[in-house]
Structure 1
Amino acid sequence: MLKDGSSQGINEFNQEVETLGKVRHPNLVTLIGACAEVRALIYEYFPNGSLEDHLKCKNNMSPLSWQDRVRISFEICCALSFLHCSKPHGIVHGDLKPDNILLDSNNVSKISDFGLCRQLNWTDSASIPYHLTDCLKGTLAYMDPEYLSTAKITAQYDVYSFGIMLLRLATCKDPRGIGNLVEEAQKKGTLNTLVDPSAGSWPLKEAKKMMSLGLRCSDPIRKCRPDLSTKVWKELKSMVEIASVSPSS
């Protein structure tokens, strides 16, 4: 139920219903029903809460193992790649963050909250598809810096948000300024001090890969960020394969 005075207006409500009514993916939430009169959305049930709940150990939730964090990163990458390549128009989620990643009974992750999603459109003057917004919306710590200056949403907006999420999964630090924190540690050779100990015996080599990938995805300059469906997907798949044969700690 969307509360009275919620920042999510009827336009965002309709946007979410329309989008989730058209797309299906194992790592996207399934919308079962909706009622516009009272702004109610009915989803499949997620007994394990959100990714943010686990990072903060809300209500004594157990922290996720590093193996689960790597797997979840790969799942979200797959879902975002699917959205960005949707036909006839790619879709940008626009508010990717751990709060909007829900976990089912098996801790399989699914992206939720599509109220700020946007379709990407080609124009004669654009080399890449984008959506021009008339009002900046999103969660500041996860917002693409170039979006803040241009109001243009591209697929790279989600890549930036995804990068910040990777850094949080590796370190469990506050998202505000996390890029600078990790980058400074990388320069000093002290990344090992940032690895979240609650994730278990995370091999330092793999943890560094996660942080390095997070920094590249959250590069302030859009054109410097890697492509999700090729480079990022490939790197995460390799990390998942290593995690799958590593003993649980």
Structure 2
Amino acid sequence: MNVHQKQNIFGVQTNNRIANGDAEPENESSLLKSTRWSYEGIMRCGVQAYLRPCLFQGCGSMSDAVFPMSSVCEAAGEMVFVVDGDHQSRNAAIDLVESFGYPVTGCANAAEFQAKVQLCKSGCVLIDPFLPGIDGLAVLEWMNITGVTLPVIFVSEIQDTSTVVRCMKEGAIDFLQKPFSKILFQRAVNTAIGLSRKRNCLNESRNLVNSLLETLTPTERQVAELISHGYSTKNIASDLGRSENTIKIHRSRVFTKLKVNSAASISNIFNHCNKSL
């Protein structure tokens, strides 16, 4: 059966199908049990990752334009945080976010937000830079230090140039001045959620790749690293003081455990672990 193929970042031909069959994978478990096939490097949203939900779960007929806003991309525990000391303003923002279909929770101050956000892997933060006590900028600095990577949108009635510049320099993705239109607000929230889902997708993919690498023995890891640097079997044997036949056995095990079918795939697996978004 002929299928349209495209080249992924591993330098091998793939079309979201297992290399030795025509049937599309039904779930992640079946993919993980398959051996020596090539991961689709570019996900539907454009992120370079592997074995993500958009490759299965019946997404084949969906347009790429719906990703990462499709529900299939929603991360477990996704949450939008509205951090505002003004009760009415906070509730109004919560109602708007709920109308967009996202899970949302309100926080009256920084301490309340810090207690809730720690376990959240995806979502975004809508925060007033002029919070009482610990202000919004201090909260963003805390997020950067502690590794909370949710995108931040500052929302305030007060907008002076120096404050906006400081917020953006600290890593905020937007600054909205009240009052704002629903369309502008929704666009900002959608952008933040999309970015967060892409980051989470990359992290989950990296975790999977690391779990595959951890299945290698120390010798297999050495062989894999040398393969990733372009070493031939003969060169690896010489460097490690082993026979070529022994290295061929290790090489075969590496390809099987990492579920790939080319040296370029192994190189890109190591590179993938160092990518960020």
- Tell me the TM-score normalized by structure 1: 0.32
- Tell me the TM-score normalized by structure 2: 0.30
Q: Tell me which structure has the larger Cα radius of gyration.
A: 2
